[in-house]
Amino acid sequence: MGKRLQNLKKLIDKGKSYSINEAISIVKKTSTAKFDETIEAHIKLGINLKNNNSQSIRGLIVLPHSINKQIKIAVCTKGEKQRDAQLSGADFVGFENLIDSIINGKIDFDVLIATPDIMKDLSKVANILGPRRLMPNVKSGTITFDLSTTIKELKLGRIEYKNDSYGIIHIAIGKASFQDYQLVENVRYFIHNVIKSSTTNNYLKSIYLSSTMGPSILVNSKL
């Protein structure tokens, strides 16, 4: 792996920042693993995290070109909302029976959506769902009465992003098998989405692109 990375790094001028188009072209050339590598964007933000994380950034986004992971969505709700969830394309819909299935270890879904009125009942399985990052929460948009919109966006590939403790946002923006223009559009769309949340004059400190197993490439932040 060391020699492989050294060879790939020769394709990159470390003293240069590349345009998005150039960076995408290079990152695809460095995606030489035997699987379809994920292309990632890493954005360092000019935010102050010492002030009780008051400038922390997080959001939900549907990229123009989804990674197309076929996710299974479960909805925990009751009454007429169960019918709404079924008509909207949820893979599993239930209330007490769904909670019982979770207690018995049957968790055959990737995302769990819940309506606010059943959260008290769902709390009994929080210790099971929490460690798996499946417990619905407001910030991820998975506690809602608007089941139709939420299910549709998740099926289209909606993802959540937030900065880490170093003020960096890491996000998958596609696969090495994507066309160049798809990756370029995804990167631009995401960056502009982040810029909308700007509260400082020096918001984007740096932008890097990389593949799962490849070196990072500095992108010119002047879009």
Does one domain contain both 130 and 24?
no
**Domain, as residue range, for 42:** 16-67+159-219
**Tokens 């009994």 map to which residue?**
124
Does one domain contain both 174 and 151?
no
Query: Which residue, 204, 161, 203, 165, is CA-closest to 186?
Result: 161
Does one domain contain both 165 and 150?
no
Cβ contact 61:190 at 8 Å: yes
Q: Nearest 5 degrees, angle CA 149-CA 154-CA 158?
A: 110
Q: Which of 119, 135, 155 delimits the end of a domain?
A: 155
* pLDDT tens digits along 61-76: 989 998 866 889 999 9
Q: Which of 113, 134, 155 delimits the end of a domain?
A: 155
Alpha-carbon gap, residue 194 to 207, rounded angstroms? 12
Helix axes 20-29, 180-195, angle to 10 degrees: 130
Cβ contact 208:187 at 8 Å: no
Q: Which of 129, 155, 181 delimits the end of a domain?
A: 155
* pLDDT tens digits along 164-180: 888 899 999 999 999 99
Q: Which of 5-14, 66-75, 140-149 has the lowest mean pLDDT?
A: 5-14
pTM here?
Answer: 0.73
More confidently predicted of 7 and 32: 32
- CATH number for position 44: 3.30.190.20
Q: Which of 26-40, 54-68, 112-126, 195-209 has the lowest mean pLDDT?
A: 195-209
